[in-house]
Chain A
Amino acid sequence: MVDKTLPADERLNQMLVEYFDARDSGRTPSRDELLAMHPDLSDDSDLSEQIDEFLDNQQLFDRFSEALEVTAISAGQDTASVQGRATPDPSRPTVLGGDHLAAMFEPGVRFGDYEILEEIARGGMGVV
């Protein structure tokens, strides 16, 4: 609940916390839905203007952020990251074994100044 007696800035921040909560549970509220969550504040034109501004800014950020994504990351990896973060379970089996990493260091792969010629040895400390 947003406390009406709070300063305007603080009321907006509280509404944004609710906005992010809703978005994190997979349902991004539209501007109108966000305002409808607080009918008691709907006559506050300053507040709705600030919400519009915030949503605009977030949208612009998302557009630029997407540019960062497409220059480096393929689709689907983001969810992998979020899931990885959401389940920090130490007992989780390491399903993605060393083979993936090993594939990166196949003979012939260049690595900075070096080119990998052959695997010398493999042991407890890793693959040399």
Chain B
Amino acid sequence: MNHAAENLEDVVERYRQYLVMLADRQLDSRLRGKLDASDVVQQTLLEAHQNQEQFRGTHEGELVAWLRKILAHNLLDAIRGLRREKRDVAREQSIDAVIETSSVRLEGWLAVEDSTPSQKFTRQEEAVQLADAMARLPDAQREALILKNWHGWTVPEIAQHMGRSSTAIAGLLKRGLKQLRQQLTESE
């Protein structure tokens, strides 16, 4: 790796927010309240640390691909856990279909992960910058941006979910985007 002198742990830590955003992006929005992406990522980084001898790559892109794969497996595991839990909760039957959809998305993700080489690394830096910038936003702005842009919710849906008016949501989106721009262009 380029970071021969660096501890793997430190390198891996740089991708924490990126992995959280990826997990958030992958999870169906109805599962977001049930699964904490940060927890799954924490577990993922821990496992990466514990199993670092298994990592055979030589390039940081391969390292991140390896992390993504562990994350996808952990998300699948967490989703399977939900499936077991929800047996006790008859009213949550509708979550079944959601779990299926999320599982299939993750399988697709893993399939892509297996078939594409580390060339994705070229754009990965942008993704990492975005994730880090998103993590620094006020919670409400980040939530609105994620639901709008990554989960395709309408503004009135977000308004209802967050208990605010539609114009307030538009304001959150507008200010969030503005702040992201400032951060992203600073780091460019």
Contact = CB atoms under 8 A, between A and B. Distances in A.
A68 B107 contact: no
Nearest to A93: B97
A72 B126 contact: no
Nearest to B129: A64
B80 interface: yes
A85 B51 contact: no
Interface string B93-119: 110111011011111111111000000
B74 A61 contact: no
Contacts of A64: 126-127, 129-130, 180, 184
B170 A72 contact: no
Interface string A16-30: 110011001000000
Contact of B174 (A16, A74, A111): A16
Please report whether the interface of chain A is mostly helix, strand, loop or mixed according to DSSP.
helix
Interface residues on A, range: 35 or more
A53 B184 contact: no
A123 interface: no
Contacts of B148: 20
Interface string A76-112: 0110111011101110101011001101100000011
Contacts of B77: 111-112
A13 B155 CA distance: 11
A113 interface: yes
B174 A12 contact: yes
B41 interface: no
Interface of B: 18, 21-22, 25-26, 28-30, 47, 50-51, 64, 68, 70, 73-74, 76-77, 80, 83-84, 93-94, 96-98, 100-101, 103-113, 120, 123-124, 126-127, 129-131, 145, 148-155, 166-171, 173-174, 177-178, 180-181, 184-185
